[in-house]
Amino acid sequence: MPDPSSDKLNEQLHTAKQVNPENVGALTREQLTPAAAASPQGHDVPGHDHAPTDQAGLHVGHDHGPPRQIDHSGHDHDGHNHGPAGDRPYLVPGISLALLLGGIALDYFGAGFFTGSVRLIWYAVAYLLVGWKVIRSAVLSIPGGNIFNEFLLMSLATIGAFAIGEYAEGVAVILFYTVGELFQDAAVNRAKRSIRALLEIQATEVAVLRDGQRLVLDPKQVAVGDVIEVRPGEKVALDGTLQSERASFNTAALTGESVPQTKQRGELVLAGMINQDTLSQITVTAGYRDTKLSKILAMVQDAVGRKAKTQQFITKFARIYTPIVVALAVLLTLLPFFFVADYVLRDWLYRALVFLVISCPCALVISIPLGYFGGIGAASREGILFKGSNFLDVMRELDTVVMDKTGTLTKGVFAVQQVQPAAGFEAAKFVALAAALEAKSTHPIARAVVEYAGPAESALAVADVEEIAGHGLRGTVGGQVVLAGNARLLRRFGVEYPAVVDAQTDTIVVVAVNGRYAGYLTVADEIKPDAALAVRALRAEGISKLVMLSGDKDVIVQRVARELTIDEAHGGLLPEDKARYVQQYLAEGRILAFVGDGVNDAPVVALANVGIAMGGLGSDATIETADVVIQTDHPSKIATARRIARATHTVVWQNIWLAFLVKAVVLALGAGGLATMWEAVFADVGVALLAIINAVRIQRMNFSLSE
């Protein structure tokens, strides 16, 4: 079992989710470095943190995160930033942009001094501020054999633009490319910090009872068989069996369910649970690295590492396109010498440079991310956050959606569902008696009863309240002895009740008054109003399989699944159980999204092709691990996200084909000497403007779902 606090986290997060330069909208991807460029495989270089080029400042925005006491060295030591401009990585690009805009303005107004060497130096400074790293990357990639890559194409095209006087275009292309890289790097840093925050769930110290003494130790120093002591409000540090008579634990970190679990002597207690009420003693049954919580954290890291590295379109294209264009430019310069009688090198060199400018991929570099920007912007207006443009692509390809229950399809807030008073008891009076007693408890189920009763319970005097752990409450309400709790409470006091009580599958509050059964209330998590719409819309969007995985009781899970017509449902699951099901679906070749909201969902959110988090009530760890965040907590937004993804795909490929067709025509004209710089500018800037207009269409589309 890998140590979840090891350096593996840094390496996996650096290498797991890389994309390429055109994915400017990506928010969880690593920036390329010359070390990556020099790799024969392109960009996917394990151990990216340790590239020797870091000291040259090429590791832009490499953030080591805030200092924390984690059992490793060399990464979390100072919280500083290695990128240029330190904590202001956008300062240098900002200066370059200001110089570019200033130069364009001076050109437009025909400033007398802005000519010749002054104009060249002005634009050269703007270019070198952001372009020298790309040029250096192109040079450093040559020894590794990775010559024809984006770095070379960007360098040749932009330097070619300078060579024929198109300074502004050269600066604009390289500036756009650099800013996109910074966007990617900033988001990778945030993801790294967020995953590290997940480690804080683990207890950092534990009280161990040895030889009659209470010792506070690191959990890693505790052996199997030791007895640990957990006070109310403390986290359980290690898995073990309860030695105390009974205790109540908040299990949300492991199961995602908000109802506390009452454990009896000898029952299993897991690391990550929080002791609710009484001082408890636990005999350790698993070492630190073998606890359920450690396995959850390890699964997050491993699942992130198993994410497929998406080879984006521009990289594949550039490996073919770049050498062809460069070879054609060289041939266009030299070959006419053998066939043209009045060959002039300067003229043919100029023609080749025009050809290179026309071939500059900036129209593609702009048109592809602009389409994704449009989709990401449309999604954000719908309360959906895509952390990378590639997730729009995967969202479109989904055939399976796997969902958690609590907090995803249900509200995660308990409410009274049914009131069933016994014969001879008036419903309103029965509820008032139960609520008056439950008002003395802070248990979530008690709060649900009190909220349902409203102000009626406040008029009743309550005295002699006794909380019986694992059973419920006993007290005097309005002069009557009232019991409120589970069926075990009534059995304990010898109160007979009908068999229907034991047959209930929902959480139940049974009430007795003066030793006589008075009725029961059922308390359950409510299904979200748009959950049924979400299921119908996903089916309409072509999702062939809908699955629900939950830590709640299986009988409750099956009932919710039947009500929502979900294809497959499984309850009573721990995080590793959910991960097992997801891995099974992935092994079957399914492309799936997992939708969840709790810390316990983080491993499967990371494991799925697309991890979706409910962002309104979801845990920070799950939200940051996820690839898509639904900020409104409405499950119907899953179908909306798919609609947006499909529309984005259409627009992006329209832009790609537009750029290809226009460039093909103008490249042919340029090779024949029929295209001037005007045509070259149209092939780049004109196509980019058309792509912008096309991408804006996404913002105007209606993605709302009909009931």
DSSP string, 465-502: EEEETTTEEEEEETTEEEEEE-HHHHHHTT----THHH
Secondary structure class of 630 (helix, strand, coil) = strand
With residue 651 as reference, give the H or E element that holds it.
Answer: helix 637-671
What are the backbone dihedrals phi and psi of residue 158, each rounded to the nearest 5 degrees, phi first? -75, -40
Structure tokens at 659: 């750029």
Structure tokens at 255: 């199961």
> Which whole-number Å values give the CA distances from 102 to 98, 119, 684, in the listed order?
6, 11, 21
* Sign of CA pseudo-dihedral 51, 52, 54, 56: negative
Query: What is residue 261's predicted lDDT score, i.e. its pLDDT?
Result: 79
Secondary structure class of 383 (helix, strand, coil) = coil
Does the annotation mark 404 as catalytic? yes
Inter-helix orientation angle 292-305/167-198, to 10°: 160
CB 480 within 8 A of CB 391: no
Query: How would you classify the pairing of strands 568-570 and 545-549?
Result: parallel
Query: What is residue 186's predicted lDDT score, i.e. its pLDDT?
Result: 55
Query: How would you classify the pairing of strands 507-513 and 480-485?
Result: antiparallel
Helices (H), 22-166: 34-37, 91-109, 116-141, 150-163
Question: Position of tokens 């897991």?
Answer: 270
What are the backbone dihedrals phi and psi of residue 407, each rounded to the nearest 5 degrees, phi first? 90, -15
Q: Which residues contact 20 (CB under 8 A, 6 or more apart)?
A: 32, 43, 150, 311, 312, 314, 315
3.40.190.10, 3.40.50.970, 3.40.50.1000, 3.40.50.1260: CATH of 387-410+527-641: 3.40.50.1000
Nearest CA-CA partner of 614 in 634, 585, 589, 586: 634
Rounded to whole angstroms, the Cα distance separating 398 from 204 reads 40
Query: What is residue 96's predicted lDDT score, i.e. its pLDDT?
Result: 92
| Exposure string over 363-394, b if 16+ CB within 10 A, otherwise e | bbbbbbbbbbbbbbbbbeebbbbbbbbbbbbb
> Which whole-number Å values give the CA distances from 173 to 133, 364, 367, 470, in the listed order?
14, 11, 12, 67
Which amino acid is residue 569, in one-letter code?
A
Q: Which residues contact 675 (CB under 8 A, 6 or more apart)?
A: 354, 358, 666, 669, 683
**CATH number of the 206-300 domain:** 2.70.150.10
Tell the burial category of 456 from Cβ atoms under 10 Å away from its Cβ (0-12, 13-18, 19+).
middle
pLDDT along the chain (707 residues), means of 10: 40 35 31 32 34 32 33 34 55 91 91 91 94 88 75 74 78 74 54 52 84 89 93 90 89 63 87 86 90 64 41 59 79 86 79 70 63 77 78 90 88 84 88 90 82 74 84 90 91 92 85 93 87 94 93 85 94 86 94 82 85 69 75 87 91 82 77 64 67 76 76
Question: Could you say which of 302, 404, 530, 552 is catalytic?
Answer: 404
Query: How would you classify the pairing of strands 507-513 and 516-527?
Result: antiparallel
pTM comes to 0.57
3.40.50.300, 3.10.180.10, 3.40.1110.10, 3.40.50.720: CATH of 412-526: 3.40.1110.10
CB 370 within 8 A of CB 692: yes
Query: What is residue 84's predicted lDDT score, i.e. its pLDDT?
Result: 41
